[in-house]
Amino acid sequence: MAFNILISDPLSEDGIYPLRQAEGFNIVIETNLSPEELGERIGEFDALLVRSQTQVTREIIEKGTRLKIIGRAGVGVDNIDLPAATERGIIVVNAPDGNTNSAAEHTVAMLMSLARNIPQAFHALKNQKWDRKAFIGVELKNKTLGVVGLGRIGAEVATRAKGQRMNVIAYDPFLTPEKAEKLGVQFGTIDEVIRAADFITVHTPLLKETRHLINKEAFEKMKDGVQIINCARGGIIDEDALYNAIVEGKVAGAALDVFEEEPFLDHKLLTLPQVIATPHLGASTVEAQEIVAVDVSYDVVSFLQGGVVKNPVNLPSVPKDIMTKIEPYFNLVEKLGSF
């Protein structure tokens, strides 16, 4: 049986090698499709592979009459309408491990650049201004880093921060004092973290519960002169509240890689000299792009060939031979539930 695979965002060619090698897979690479163009084409395909650029909306999913699986080459799936996919029986897979190291390294690079005003000093020097006094920074040693979200990336950042001899206090809804002790970090509630930290970095997914988690009220609880890093998801930090906190002098600086709306070009935050920013580069390394594409490609191949997937997001993955045996029981349960 032949399968049509659409890749609508740029993926590493080495990363899609598993798709190239699979028998009966017709791969179409069409990047920069408009939503209208994607809607017109999606009905031809059994699988869709995306990064963060393509917005897989309910409308797109409903037009994907052949769609069986959507692969997100990366961690976050907020650009995919999971409820719509689930309703139509379309499995969504991601690659939660592939960009962990790259994202953690980028976060630490932003942390150090923020502490030492490196981008601002470089910009001044490029403009032929030699001004050492204007860019006096602070050491990280003995400062407290607050980590909000201690998953894969947050834990990696914490480990690296400890290597800089920082004190680390962390909050995560799934973090226990025992696990915190094992990782060598201090356990805290979110209030304790944001009150204690000299630097705060966020590493949560973007959910209803985490949207604007760092807001006006949170800034008011922080130390004067706190510095903020977000290399996770735009929307976790209330950007307007952050702007006001910087202007008012509560926040000394911010390093941002992600934004509520991208591309992020004309927001007032970018007018502030205390803000450094990059265009969503956390996972933009050669290594990470290859790893996440490989992971998702293997899952797509396995699923379409009747196997199991490694990283399902919205549905349990069951092999066809087992599903054949248990499917009658699903039907029985549905009928019993109607009485």
Q: Does the active-site annotation cover 106?
A: no
SS3 for the chain, per residue?
A: CCEEEEECCCCCCCCCHHHHHCCCEEEEECCCCCHHHHHHHHHHCCEEEECCCCCECHHHHHHCCCCCEEEECCCCCCCECHHHHHHCCCEEECCCCCCHHHHHHHHHHHHHHHHHCHHHHHHHHHCCCCCCHHHCCCCCCCCEEEEECCCHHHHHHHHHHHHCCCEEEEECCCCCHHHHHHHCCEECCHHHHHHHCCEEEECCCCCCCCCCCECHHHHHHCCCCEEEEECCCCCCECHHHHHHHHHCCCEEEEEECCCCCCCCCCCHHHHCCCEEECCCCCCCCHHHHHHHHHHHHHHHHHHHCCCCCCCECCCCCCCHHHHHHHHHHHHHHHHHHCC
**Placement of tokens 């965002």 in the chain:** 9
Q: Does the active-site annotation cover 280?
A: yes
Catalytic residue among 51, 72, 203, 233: 233
Catalytic residue among 280, 287, 290, 327: 280
Task: Put the strands of the sheet holding 3-7 in their side by side order.
Answer: 25-29, 3-7, 47-50, 69-72, 91-93
Q: Does the active-site annotation cover 262?
A: yes
Catalytic residue among 30, 217, 262, 287: 262
**Active site (catalytic) residues:** 233, 262, 280
